[in-house]
Structure 1
Amino acid sequence: MKEKYDLIIVGSGVLGTFHAYHALHKGMSVAILEKNSKPEGATVRNFGQVVPSGMDRKWQNFGKESLKIYKDIQSQFDISIRQNGTVYLASNDEEMQLIEELHQINISNDYESNLLTKEQCLTKYAGLRSDYCTGGLFFPQEVTVEPSTMIHKLHQYMIANLGLDLFMNTTVLNVENRTDGVVATTSAGQEYKALKIIICNGSDFKILYPEIYNSSDLVVSKLQMLQTKPQNNYKLDGSILTGLTIRRYESFEECKSYATIKAKENPDSFEKKYGVHILFKQALDGSVILGDSHEYAPAKDIDSLGFDLNMDIDNFMIEEAKKIIDLPTYEIQNRWFGMYSQCKTKDIFEHTVDENIHIITGIGGKGMTGSAGFAKHNIAKIFNV
């Protein structure tokens, strides 16, 4: 441990880690303090896709920057990045209209996308059902990651190549400004000093500054996901996003037909109640990850979301997935949920406690896609460099 750092990050998830990454690239000394023995939040419990295609224009730009950063790191050190693209599969004429409109928006945004006919989709994606697919929109630049391992590999890379100091099992109970800098005090009584501290606490709202979160518009979303057993002699490339995703993701809200199409939906449907949309991604072991759902609670009531899985949601997702792709097996080997925080009125939660203590959280479902690009911009802003 150094006597004093330029920057301390509280929280070792993807948002905090990329703030550390960009600070290190600016020549700063950086430490990450993590309360657990390894990251346990949304960073390792997400679907594992980097999809700027699903973001609004602001975050698509951050996502495009993230893609460059991920690919640059992957060229030097394996952090599980695979450039295998993302496809949105339309199931009817309305969804086809939306992806055609998004394709035109992408052209004006200088973001590569390719319209696929029904026949091209059926050829490209094994097992895709002809009675489901109308056509697709493919984003060749987008990547998938293995969320259970990516962040650990990224930490290894940053320690070995950039000089990161990473302290696990280090719970910060207090942060304060003193005359000689900012001090983070841990549950063990250890003090870590820095010029500035950035708190990237995910959905942990009970330790540092709970009064700030309790009076904010932060909400927590609980997402359920499943993993099949390995699919023998079967390959599914990239991220497969489907009709319910087209009806949900932010980027489609910019399409001129979006509001009219959304207005026709049944507000009392199961998928509306639980925020379900169907995604597929094949993991490195050959299994296929299926998701996901969304249940919400205010930050101060996070425990109301519970710790159990709703089997009605899981069963619904499996039955919907079977209507889309005929996998060799739908036998499930793993089920889990992740939680991420987001704001009702803002795209990210940024709170300046004072000029040297900053809280950055509530990035929502944009974390894996947008953190690398956003953190680059934010470090430049915070340090005025």
Structure 2
Amino acid sequence: MTSGHRTAVIGAGIVGLAHAWAASLRGDSVTVYERDTQASGASVRNFGLGLVLGQPAGELVELAQQSRAMWLDFFADTGCWHKAEGSLVVARSATELRVIEAFQEARGAQYGTRLLGRDEVAAQQVSGFGALFSPSEIAMDARQVIAVLTRWLTERHGVTFEFGVQVNAIDLPRLDTSRGQRAADEVVLCSGHDVQSLYPQHFAALGIRRCALQMQRLANPGVRLGPTMMTGLSTLHYGAFTGCAALAEPLAALRHEVAQQQPALLEHGIHLIVQQVGDDGDLIIGDSHAIGETVAPFNDESVDTLILDLAQRLLQRPLQVRERWQGIYASGRRALEVLYPAPHVQAVVITSGIGMSIAFALARRQLAQ
């Protein structure tokens, strides 16, 4: 039974779906408005990775740990495909090995990680000097899971979805949409990198830009990968590593090594993630990072080649590309932004590409306030 309180969620990506779930658990009558006929933004263009390792200590790692538990509840209820087999940060050089060793000494107990030797790494079908294993990561197929979550919210939680409906103006209780007026008592705006359509003046001061990623889907290489695979390059990217004072010296040495050997990796913000998804065993690999007010829609073939080469070296086998695409997400000075542009209206934007990792717990927190 609903409370009669009408909550409108704008955006059917993972952040919007997370808030729709949280609102439904309050007993609200929930409607999600999505301007496209299906979710087509950051949430379906990413790896489908629930990442705990990598989140900086404090609020974000706590949100990721809480969201992980909620993902597991969802998977248990739906039977949707996933793997809760953790992640490996594989050291490709002695310099990368020193970084992960320093992390393990400084923060291993906090993140529940452990070091693997060369032989243990080889047993995981990859090549490296050693690796940092985290048991916390969950792999999912982003395209599949968003569709299943949408259907589950409809069938299990009574959430209504209006796809192909653009919300053009909000003056509660009235919503002006591309298909006429609607009504709500509360609005949660979860429109991702679109910060121009509604309340642009409130977003303007935040300096939110767009980050474009080059992604690839590869045919099953004939091996089963358990954990999600990363390399030491990821330690230059994620706050759990860059925000750890004990890693300052080894990270500086790694950055220097990469700058000397493959400066294009730093120029394009490339760090490697390899994730095997679904029953067919395809690999999702990426990614690069190009940030701007507007990002070009054209992929740079040299960047795709660099990423593919990193993956082939890690797996020690040739790989066949099935698809290429551009991911995109909001990028900002902080990991997330929450605005209150009008009474009973909040806007939630994750500005660091970690929506799959933290959105569920973030939504519960926001709607409990």
Where does structure 2 lack aligned partners over 5 or more consecutive residues? Answer: none
The question of whether the paired residues in 2 share the 8 Å contact of 1:88 and 1:136 is answered with: yes
Partner of 1:274: 268
Q: Tell me, yes or no, if structure 1 residue 29 matches structure 2 residue 19.
A: no
Alignment partner, residue 162 of structure 1:
157
For 2:39 and 2:311, the matched residues in 1 are separated by 30
Out of 150, 164, 175, which is 2:170 matched to?
Answer: 175
Q: 1:6-25 alignment to 2 at 5 Å?
A: 6-25=6-25
**Aligned-partner SS, 1:95:** helix
Q: Distance in 1 between matches of 2:138 and 2:355?
A: 14
Give the direction of change, closer, same or farther, for the CA distance of 1:197–1:146 in structure 2 (3 Å limit). Answer: same
State the Cα distance separating 1:5 from its structure 2 match.
4.6
Identify which of 359, 362, 368 aligns with 1:374: 362
Alignment counterpart, residue 226 of structure 1, candidates 216, 220, 237: 216
Q: CA deviation at 1:107?
A: 4.9
**In structure 1, what is the equivalent of residue 231 of structure 2?**
242
Match of 1:213 among 195, 198, 203: 203
> Residue deviations 1:12-68, cap 9 Å, x none?
110111011111112222111100111011100001111111101221110000110
Report the Cα distance in structure 1 between the residues aligned to 2:214 and 2:367, rounded to whole angstroms: 32
61-70 vs 71-80, which deviates more? 71-80
Contact 1:81 1:146 in 2 (8 A): yes
Secondary structure of the structure 2 residue equivalent to 1:290: strand
Q: Does the Cα contact within 8 Å between 1:101 and 1:255 map onto a contact in 2?
A: no
Structure 1 unaligned spans of 5+ = none
| Counterpart pick for 1:292 among 283, 287, 290 | 287
Tell me the residue number matched to 1:358: 346
Q: In the alignment, what sits opposite 1:317? A: 307
Q: Aligned letter for 2:340?
A: T
User: What is the DSSP-based 3-state SS (H/G/I as helix, E as strand, rest coil) of the residue aligned with 2:184?
Assistant: strand
**Counterparts in 2 of 1:325 and 1:347: CA distance versus 1, 3 Å:** same
Spell out structure 1 runs of 4+ moving beyond 6 A: none
Q: Is the 8 A contact 2:103 2:247 kept in 1?
A: no
Percent of paired sites with the same residue: 22
Q: How does 1:43-62 map to 2 (within 5 A)?
A: 43-57=43-57, 58-62=59-63
Say if 1:31 and 1:167, in contact at 8 Å, map to a contact too.
yes
Identify the match of residue 139 of structure 1 among 131, 134, 141.
Answer: 134
TM-score (norm 2): 0.92
Q: Is the 8 A contact 1:309 1:337 kept in 2?
A: yes
Amino acid of the structure 2 residue aligned with 1:187: S
* 1:44 aligned counterpart, secondary structure: helix
TM-score scaled by structure 1?
0.88
Residues 9 and 198 of structure 1 are in contact (CA less than 8 Å); yes or no, is this contact kept in structure 2? yes
- What is the root-mean-square deviation in Å for CA atoms of aligned residues? 2.0
| Structure 1 residues 118 and 297: alpha-carbon distance in aligned structure 2, compared to 1, 3 A threshold | same
Task: Please list the CA deviations of residues 276-302 of structure 1 after superposition, one character each: whole Å capped at 9, or x if unmatched.
Answer: 00111112222212110000013xxx2
User: Which residue identity lines up with residue 194 of structure 1 in the other structure?
Assistant: A
Following the alignment from structure 2 to structure 1, what is the Cα–Cα distance between the partners of residues 228 and 109?
24
* Structure 1 residues 56 and 314: CA distance shift in structure 2, 3 A: same
Name the counterpart of 1:326: 316
The Cα offsets for residues 151-172 of structure 1, whole Å up to 9 and x where unpaired, read as: 1101111111111111111111
Separation (CA, whole Å) in 1 of partners of 2:251 and 2:103? 15
TM-superposed deviation, 1:106: 4.3
SS of the residue corresponding to residue 52 of structure 1 reads coil
* 1:172-224 deviation line (CA, Å, top 9, x unaligned): 111113xxxx32211122x2222210100111233222333344311211011
Deviation string 1:100-135 (CA, Å, 9 cap, x unpaired) is 3333454553x4222211111111x12x23xxx111
Measured in 2, the distance between the counterparts of 1:315 and 1:107 equals 34
Tell whether 2:330 aligns with 1:341. Answer: yes
**What is the letter of the counterpart of residue 155 of structure 2?**
A
Which amino acid in 1 is paired with 2:100? I
CA contact (8 A) 2:202 2:341 kept: no
Total equivalences in the alignment: 361
